[in-house]
Amino acid sequence: MSAERVPYSPIVTRPRLRWPNDARVAVWVVPNVEHYEYRPDPIGPRDPWPRMPHPDVLGYGTRDYGNRVGLWRMMEVTDRLNIPCTVSLNIANWEHYPEICEAMIERDWDVLCHGVYNTQYHWGLAEDDERAIIADCVETYRRFTGKQLAGWFSPAATFTHNTPDLVAEAGITYYCDWYHDDQPTRMRVRSGQLVTVPYQMDVNDAMVWRHPFEGEEFARMVTDHFDTLWDEGAEHGRVVCIALHPYIMGHPHRIRHLERALRHIVERDGVWLATGKQIADWYLAQQPGEEA
């Protein structure tokens, strides 16, 4: 990992990290609530719908299922288990899906901005263009909620060299584009402060979508991942992120596997069920003088 942003730091030599109530692990659950444009403009090196000429009705409809059905099924699970979620949200969804946003507000879910649309990538953007997009996301969130946006995860995990500087400049405090650690870390930025909160690409149901395994195996991956970090957290606090997509784990044949995995976590002692903002704020408060 480039020392320009995050100096190398072996986890075994760091000061001991503790969570509230001496929890071993901070667990945050991240449903990705996304909007894919039906006929997006061509963008750079990656086609959002590479399977066939646009419109790709099958691809679009599969993802639309998540917002129409899968998310609501997933909400029933997190409600039953009393899990606070951090939604990775394409910010345009405040206008496209008001019912979803109202449900998130009712549950006091935290928002991790996932760009505008999941079909509008940041790769190759000029600095001023990217700055304007981030500023628009911050303003949209403030207009609908009255709050300052705290977290950023670039759309479809596309970002530029400037992204960390620009999100910190906009007053955003935590960042999820780098998957380099099991603890939060400070990131060097031109102004302000920015902390990376661990997000997962391994314990992420997108792997079910891309590889030949199913919901039951994904649930086992979640519990194995959690158990290892819970054991390690006895000496040095860890972060467990469970990244979800309603169009994947929200299907009837997968949802029960997800619920079993989450129940395994919430029934364990020494677990802090948190939001991304809570994790970032706690970490920054514990190490107020640290510089990246």
Q: How many helices (H) and strands (E) in the chain?
A: 11, 9
* 87, containing H or E segment: strand 86-89
What amino acid occupies position 122?
H
Q: Retrieve residue 248's tokens.
A: 């994947």
**92 belongs to a structural domain:** yes
The Cα 153–Cα 196 span in angstroms is: 10
d(CA 137, CA 169): 13
- Contacts with 89 (C-beta within 8 Å, 6 or more apart), sequence order: 33, 34, 104, 111, 112, 113, 114
Q: What's the domain range around 159? A: 16-44+52-286
Q: Is residue 175 part of a domain?
A: yes
CA distance 180 to 6: 10
Closest C-alpha among 232, 268, 266, 151 to residue 198: 151
Strands 194-196 and 110-113: unpaired
CB crowding 121-146: b at 16 or more within 10 Å, else e: bbeebeeeebbebbeebbebbeeeee
Contact between 232 and 14 under an 8 Å Cβ cutoff? The reply is no
Largest Cα–Cα distance of the chain, in whole Å?
Answer: 54
> Can you give the pLDDT of all 292 residues of the chain as single tens digits?
467 899 999 999 999 999 999 999 999 999 999 999 998 887 766 777 777 778 888 889 999 999 999 999 999 999 999 999 999 999 999 999 999 999 999 999 999 999 999 999 999 999 999 999 999 999 999 999 999 999 999 999 999 999 999 999 999 999 999 999 999 999 999 998 999 999 999 899 998 877 877 999 999 999 999 999 999 999 999 999 999 999 999 999 999 999 999 999 999 999 999 999 999 999 999 876 554 4
pLDDT at 183: 98
- C-alpha–C-alpha distance, residues 233 and 19, integer Å: 10
Residue with tokens 């917002």: 67
Residue 61 included in any domain: yes
25 located within any domain: yes
CA triple 166-171-172, angle to 5 deg: 75
Say if 40 falls within a structural domain: yes
What is the Cα Rg of the chain in Å?
Answer: 18
Number of independent structural domains in the chain: 1
Query: Domain for residue 56, yes or no?
Result: yes
Element (H, E) at 151: strand 151-152
2 inside domain: no
Pairwise CA distance, residues 241 & 288, whole Å = 24
We report the CATH number of the domain holding residue 180 as 3.20.20.370
Judge residue 254's burial from the number of C-beta atoms within 10 Å of its C-beta, 0-12 exposed, 13-18 middle, 19 or more buried.
buried
Q: CA distances (Å), 51 to each of 57, 238, 247, in order?
A: 10, 39, 18
Q: Which two tokens stand for residue 195?
A: 């902390």
Q: Which two tokens stand for residue 230?
A: 């819970």
**Whether the model pTM is above 0.75:** yes
- Structural domain includes residue 5: no
The residue count for the chain:
292
H helix runs in the chain, sequence order? 57-65, 71-80, 93-96, 98-106, 127-145, 163-169, 206-210, 215-232, 246-249, 252-266, 276-286
